[in-house]
Structure 1
Amino acid sequence: MNYTAEAPAVWDPALADADDCLLSTDQCVVHGQHYFVKGLIEIPVIGSDEVFSWGVWVSLSRENFSRASGLWDKPGREAEKPYFGWLTTELPMYPATTLNLKTHVHTRPVGERPFVELEPTEHPLAVEQRTGISPERLREIASAVLHAGEGEGGRG
């Protein structure tokens, strides 16, 4: 019930060997100037107790990234105030780009990915997060993700 992007949209595999770049399963740094964390946009499935999750990357300020990193393995980190960020994952099944949507990243207990709350706009992704999706829409997303090809990301 989820799809995850392997890296932020700005990541290039050629950066992997650069001293000022890092890509892990949870964090990314590009040229020591751009900072990203991976989180989940959760969308309720109407008529069920299920939730569909988009595993996405969000850019944070240097200060917020530093703070989040410092608390990464500390119990109680979920008491942190949300961090402002910009969505840096393109989800092609939406008619308008998902890049640069405004978000708030909510830290959760150690071992859990942050919750990404989209600004309540009229963007279809933000509307789906607020109102939920039908089982039919979930099947449509699953089909689009499966046909996007392995190079676009994967489930996980």
Structure 2
Amino acid sequence: MPIEHFFDYSCCADRHEGPPLSYGAPAPEGWKPRYARRRDSELTADQCVIKDREFYVHGLIEIPVLDGDEPFSWGVWVSLSEANFARMHDLWEDPAREQEPPNFGWLTTELPLYPQSTLLLKTHVHTRAVGRRPLIELEPTDHPLAVEQGEGITGERVREFADRLLGG
């Protein structure tokens, strides 16, 4: 699934200079357009079900930008168990959802800028306030994405993402 650039910033509606701070995938890796015609499959901006057997939620891997004011975000999809997905779905508009414990999930978005595959990295999905995408926390490993989430990146790395993804 290709990575797309998003220009929405979580802090405000102001226009920002510099490279975008968010990119994301429109669907989980396993989604195929023909599934949209099936009754047992659905893709929205926030959730996805494939053949009533695979369940996904759209969230953000946030990475601190060490010399910036806002984090960098990868918009990614994470698979959840059916039970955890159902609970998250049921509480989607409930303000009390922030009290839920994190759910285990598998990353199902390939981020092509990393030398190792990002597919199936272990994650924890943290529900946030209604209207905010879940926060995706990677389990600490030596994978470059997990290292970046734990240690942060520089503005130069953000510009590198923009150059590679936008062809700048």
Partner of 1:143: 163
Aligned residues: 148
Partner of 1:70: 90
**Deviation beyond 2 Å, 4+ runs, structure 1:** none
Partner of 1:134: 154
Q: TM-score when scaled to structure 2?
A: 0.86
CA separation in 1, counterparts of 2:41 and 2:164?
31
Partner of 2:63: 43
2:113 maps to which of 69, 90, 93: 93
Task: Map 1:89-128 to 2 at 5 A.
Answer: 89-128=109-148
Q: TM-score when scaled to structure 1?
A: 0.93
CA separation in 2, counterparts of 1:127 and 1:80?
26
CA separation in 1, counterparts of 2:68 and 2:41?
41
Identity of aligned residues (%): 60
How far has the Cα of 1:48 moved from its partner? 2.1
Larger RCO (CA within 8 A; separation ≥ 6): 1
Say if 2:57 is the partner of 1:57: no
1:79 maps to which of 92, 99, 104: 99
Gaps of 5+ in 2: 1-20
Deviations 1:5-60 (A, max 9, x none): 10000001111101110000000000000000000000011122221000000000
CA separation in 1, counterparts of 2:44 and 2:149?
26
Q: What amino acid is aligned across from residue 76 of structure 2 in structure 1?
A: V
Partner of 2:30: 10
CA separation in 1, counterparts of 2:77 and 2:102?
15
Partner of 1:133, secondary structure, is coil
Gaps of 5+ in 1: 148-156
CA separation in 2, counterparts of 1:67 and 1:76?
12
How far has the Cα of 1:78 moved from its partner? 0.6
How far has the Cα of 1:135 moved from its partner? 1.1
Partner of 1:151: none
CA separation in 2, counterparts of 1:75 and 1:31?
29
Partner of 2:164, secondary structure, is helix
CA separation in 2, counterparts of 1:34 and 1:127?
28
Q: What amino acid is aligned across from residue 106 of structure 2 in structure 1?
A: W
